[in-house]
């Protein structure tokens, strides 16, 4: 729903903007404001929003605006690209050691550490064929160890624990000993949730860090986290020197702005995304999807992108001239239709353009079916027939119909459509000559 309302907002702003060929302080102002609100609503930290929008502004200033879009749309595209670049990291893979790789998971209570430990174990065992040992270090939360044990059992992965009366640092040491002597590839340690301000528990993590030297120390961050997430991450990072972040609960409808805040402030790579409750629901992190989600303007971005690709100015001009001259063949009709198709399905285009009336799914499906029919009919004609559709009499029509596996009636329909289009072109030309625009245009 957020998409629609944003698109509507933008439509209002864009109407006010005139066509300008460079991005300037003035024509960017209102779009910057909208981007700012979108980021804040996505829970991106205030300071990050400020710094980030300044970056984007500096980058955008003086850039050329594509002919088919307006400065606001152009800016959002630049902002999106910047987001993708920022969120993406070169080292999102887990670093595997030659011998034993040790991974420690940490984070606030309820961030999803235990579930993610299970998911990582699943990934490493079943996709990468590693011998995995899961270790339960959460001696505080009732049944946390049982929870991890159940997951280990479900996965068929070995599990190490020493009960709830043990010291987590000892458990970690013993787990590592076992992993080393029994030839495991990976040891995953699930620690108890804790507040970053809880000195005693933070010291415990520091101690584990000291004796184990984990290959990876990963912080679990809830996609729903608010403005404070960045402080949580920096506190954990200061104490433990994190190697990366896992975003959990991304299957919810929270925008997950914390991802941007943390990346921006600490540079920590986001290595995985939790996308469901099943053990297989761990995905690699896609910067582009995340950027869409945080900005909530994926529609505008895609539109700018596709407008850039699909519409080659010169061809379009030639096309228009040809049409106006009434020298309009079936090839032209097909090319015209394909150009539209290149911009995506009708429905996605309708969604992308702010203010476009809603098209029902049935209408869309119908229109797209229609396009396929046109394409197969025209493709079954000889080049000569396409240039001179008038020559299509009964026997030629029969052959074309057989060639594309459709009926004569459908072939006729294509020809009729071509005749209509041609007629329309002629009329437009006459209007143009007489200085009047065809009805409906230019006089709202």
Q: Give the nearest distance from C-beta 217 to another protein in angstroms.
A: 20
Hey, what are 298's tokens? 């994926």
> Cβ closer to another protein: 235 or 316?
235
Inter-axis angle of helices 408-434 and 394-404, nearest 10: 110
237 near another protein (CB under 8 A): no
Site for another protein in 42-101 (CB under 8 A): 42-43, 45-46
What residues does 284 pair with on adjacent strands? 272
Q: Which stretch binds another protein (CB under 8 A): 103-111, 209-217, 304-312, 426-434?
A: 103-111
Backbone angles phi, psi at 174, to 5 degrees: -65, -40
CA distances from 317 to 311, 322, 323, 389 (A): 10, 9, 10, 24
Q: Which one, 277 or 313, has the nearer CB to another protein?
A: 277
**Segment lying near another protein (by CB under 8 A), choices 55-63, 104-112, 313-321, 331-339:** 104-112
Closest CA to 108 of 258, 272, 252, 236: 236
* Nearest one of 287, 261, 285, 236 to 94, comparing CA atoms: 285
- Annotate each residue in 300-339 with x if it binds another protein (CB under 8 A) or - if it does not, as one string: ----------------------------------------
* Token pair in block for residue 307: 């407008």
Candidates 225, 240, 247, 290; binder of another protein (CB under 8 A) is 225
Report how far Cα 258 is from the mean position of its chain's Cα atoms: 16
Q: Which is nearer to another protein, 94 or 258 (CB)?
A: 258
132 binds another protein (CB under 8 A): no
Cβ 296 to another protein, closest distance in Å?
A: 12
Q: How many residues bind another protein (CB under 8 A)?
A: 47
Shortest distance, position 120 Cβ to another protein, whole Å? 15
Is 195 among the residues that bind another protein (CB under 8 A)? yes
Q: Pairing between strand 132-136 and 186-190?
A: parallel
> Which one of 10-18, 148-156, 173-181, 338-346 is the stretch in contact with another protein (CB under 8 A)?
148-156
Please report, for residues 84, 215, 273, 274, 308, the alpha-carbon distance to residue 101 in angstroms, rounded to integers and kept in the order given. 30, 6, 20, 21, 46
* Part of the chain binding another protein (CB under 8 A), chosen from 19-27, 54-62, 228-236, 362-370: 228-236
For residue 369, how far is the Cα from the chain centroid? Answer: 28
Closest CA to 81 of 288, 240, 265: 288
Give the Cα separation of 127 and 93 in Å (integer).
14
Choose the binding region for another protein from 109-117, 180-188, 263-271, 387-395 (rule: CB under 8 A). 109-117
Q: Say whether residue 209 binds another protein (CB under 8 A).
A: no
* Contacts for 330 with CB less than 8 Å, ≥ 6 apart: 378, 381, 385, 386, 387, 389, 414, 418
Cβ(197)–Cβ(235) below 8 Å = yes
**Candidate list 99, 156, 226, 326; residue touching another protein; CB under 8 A:** 226
The three-state secondary structure class of 328 is coil
369-388: contacts with another protein (CB under 8 A): none
* 203 is an interface residue for another protein by CB under 8 A: no
Stretch that binds another protein, among 17-25, 76-84, 254-262, 285-293 (CB under 8 A): 254-262
The answer to whether the Cα torsion of 173, 177, 178, 183 is positive or negative is positive
Residue from 111, 124, 323, 411 binding another protein (CB under 8 A) = 111
**Residue 96 Rama label (left phi>0; alpha psi -120 to 50; beta):** beta
Nearer to another protein, 179 or 229 (CB): 229
What is the binding site for another protein (CB under 8 A)? 37, 40-43, 45-46, 108-112, 114, 118, 141-144, 146-151, 154, 195-197, 222, 224-229, 231-232, 248-249, 251-255, 257-258, 277
């Amino acid at each position: 729903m957020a998409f629609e309302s944003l698109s509507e907002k933008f439509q209002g702003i864009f109407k006010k903007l005139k066509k300008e060929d460079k991005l300037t302080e003035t024509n960017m102002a209102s779009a910057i404001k909208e981007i700012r609100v979108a980021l804040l609503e996505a829970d991106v930290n205030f300071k990050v929003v400020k710094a980030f929008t300044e970056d984007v502004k500096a980058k955008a200033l003086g850039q050329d605006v594509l002919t088919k879009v307006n400065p606001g749309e152009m800016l959002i595209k630049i902002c999106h690209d910047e987001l993708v670049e920022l969120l993406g990291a070169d080292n999102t893979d887990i670093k595997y050691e030659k011998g034993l790789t040790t991974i420690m998971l940490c984070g606030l209570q309820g961030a999803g550490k235990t579930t993610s430990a299970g998911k990582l174990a699943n990934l490493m065992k079943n996709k990468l064929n590693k011998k995995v040992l899961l270790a339960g270090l959460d001696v505080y939360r009732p049944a946390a160890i049982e929870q991890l044990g159940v997951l280990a059992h479900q996965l068929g992965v070995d599990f190490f624990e020493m009960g709830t009366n043990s010291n987590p640092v000892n458990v970690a040491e013993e787990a590592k000993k076992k992993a080393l002597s029994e030839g495991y590839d990976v040891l995953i340690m699930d620690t108890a949730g804790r507040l970053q301000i809880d000195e005693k528990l933070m010291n415990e993590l520091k101690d584990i860090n000291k004796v184990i030297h984990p290959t990876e120390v990963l912080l679990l961050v809830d996609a729903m986290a608010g403005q404070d997430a960045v402080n949580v991450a920096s506190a954990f990072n200061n104490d433990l020197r994190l190697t990366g972040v896992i975003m959990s609960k991304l299957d919810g409808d929270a925008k997950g702005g914390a991802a941007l805040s943390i990346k921006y402030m600490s540079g920590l790579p986001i290595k995985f995304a939790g996308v469901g409750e099943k053990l297989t629901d761990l995905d690699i992190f896609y910067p582009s999807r995340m950027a869409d989600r945080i900005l909530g303007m994926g529609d505008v971005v895609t539109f700018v992108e596709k407008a850039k690709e699909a519409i080659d100015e010169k061809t379009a001009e030639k096309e228009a001239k040809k049409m106006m001259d009434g020298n309009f063949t079936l090839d032209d009709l097909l090319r015209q239709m394909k150009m539209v198709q290149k911009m995506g399905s009708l429905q996605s285009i309708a969604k992308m353009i702010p203010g476009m009336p809603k098209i029902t799914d049935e209408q869309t499906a119908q229109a797209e079916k229609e396009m396929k029919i046109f394409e197969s009919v025209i493709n079954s004609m000889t080049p000569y027939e396409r240039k001179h559709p008038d020559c299509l009499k009964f026997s030629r029509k029969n052959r074309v119909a057989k060639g594309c596996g459709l009926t004569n009636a459908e072939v006729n329909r294509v020809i009729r459509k071509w005749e209509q289009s041609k007629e329309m072109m002629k009329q437009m030309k006459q209007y143009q000559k007489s200085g009047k625009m065809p009805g409906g245009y230019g006089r709202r």
